[in-house]
Amino acid sequence: MTENDFVSIGTLALPMLGKVCWKAPSNIALVKYWGKKENQIPANPSISFTLDACATTTSITYTRLEDSAADFQFELYFEGELKEDFKPKIHTFFKRTEKFLPFLKSYEFIIETSNSFPHSSGIASSASGMAALALCLMSIEKEINPDIEDDFFYKKASFLARLGSGSAGRSIEGDLIQWGSSLHIPNSSDLFGIHYPFEVHRNFRNFHDTILLVHKGQKTVSSTVGHDLMYGHPFAKERFSQAHKNLDKLKSIFASGDLSGFIEIVESEALTLHAMMMTSLPYFILMKPNTLEIINRIWAFRDATKTPICFTLDAGANVHVLYPESAKEKAIQFIQDELVAYCENGHYICDRIGKGAKQLSTTIG
């Protein structure tokens, strides 16, 4: 498929008024997306577990304007409060998606959004937020054109979400989502996420992700700036090719249920991501002392008990502790006994693999 497959026919009758609502989850990458080309095209393919508990709920009330407006007309409420400072991001998103959603300037939108996790938790809401927004816009498009089929609906939602934030393209469906063109994955695309098409052993069903909130403050460097620093990065070429190799290696690991192989790739990916940050110019460090304490504790516990538990990191100091259902009791005990002490105010979130976004019912008013 190409971008042009997502351009809508803009001539159908536009409804006067309506409201749509979606709840979209966050996701955690196993092979990381870090570095991009123009138009939100990833420099390498990535794969993620869709999460369940960490999610954004967004509703859009849309009212048709008498005449199309010169610019996008919308208000944004975050957790019940009007948020002017969130508007530029949405405006950029509308600009990037206008070509694919020709009705955008024909409506006034009231966007109401909230997260299941505290805004100040250091958990990025861009993936779940952009996914929920993209799904709401797709529901409006489906009101206009009821012939849209489910498969296209979700593909285009992922395509649009990706234009808002790359990783958001992996937050539409569950439970293991791959995004970015790979020679060895049929139908993989730089434009949208797909269900991982190969066999996945039951060891990887119901995986858990306990998110340890090490540092709840604002990150010092945004992901967007970090991605840009991969241009001209001395190790970029090697890194992009390593991501391809890691994705290939995961095929037999997922099929056979090889938890040790999984752990090796996932931890290496997390550390490589941060190594890229530490070796870019300007260089920066997003891990905190407690991030390292937690990593060392996990390694010592795994060595001593042979429990298949590991960590991954996103672009921040928080640690995602991953473990299979079979290790749940031991892992939770260990987290409570040894790791919670390193979390800011002892805060952590118990999450697990999820099935993807859900549409919620709405009433206007």
Which residues sit at the interface with ligand DP6, rule CB under 6 A?
29, 32-34, 40, 46, 124, 126, 165-167, 223-224, 227, 273, 314-315
CB of 166 to ligand DP6, least distance (A): 3
Distance CA 87, CA 131 (A): 16
| CB-CB neighbours of 75 under 10 Å | 14
> Of 20 and 230, which has the nearer Cβ to ligand DP6?
230
Residue 61 vs 126, nearer CB to ligand DP6:
126
By beta-carbon proximity to ligand DP6, the closer residue of 171 and 203 is 171
The dihedrals phi and psi of 215, each to the nearest 5 degrees, come to -145, 115
Residue 360: CB minimum distance to ligand DP6, A? 24
Phi and psi at 74, nearest 5°, equal -155, 155
Of 224 and 333, CB closest to ligand DP6? 224
Nearer to ligand DP6, 104 or 168 (CB): 168
Q: Rank residues 209 and 314 by Cβ distance to ligand DP6 and give the closer one.
A: 314
- Provide, rounded to whole angstroms, the least separation between the CB of residue 342 and ligand DP6: 21
CB of 191 to ligand DP6, least distance (A): 13
Structure tokens at 31: 């092979």
Answer yes or no: are the C-beta atoms of 326 and 203 closer than 8 Å.
yes
Q: What is residue 39's DSSP assignment?
A: G
From the CB of 172, what's the least distance to ligand DP6, in Å?
14
**CA–CA gap between residue 262 and residue 244 (Å, rounded):** 15
Contact present, 322 and 344 (Cβ < 8 Å): no
Q: What single string gives the DSSP state of each residue in 103-172?
A: TGGGEEEEEEEEESS-GGGS---HHHHHHHHHHHHHHHHHHH-TT--HHHHHHHHHHHHHHH-GGGGGSS
| Cβ proximity of 331 and 351 under 8 Å | no
- In the complex with ligand DP6, the residue whose CB is nearer, 33 or 196, is 33
CB of 363 to ligand DP6, least distance (A): 33
Q: Give the nearest distance from C-beta 147 to ligand DP6 in angstroms.
A: 31
Query: Vertex 325, ends 323 and 330: CA angle to 5°?
Result: 65
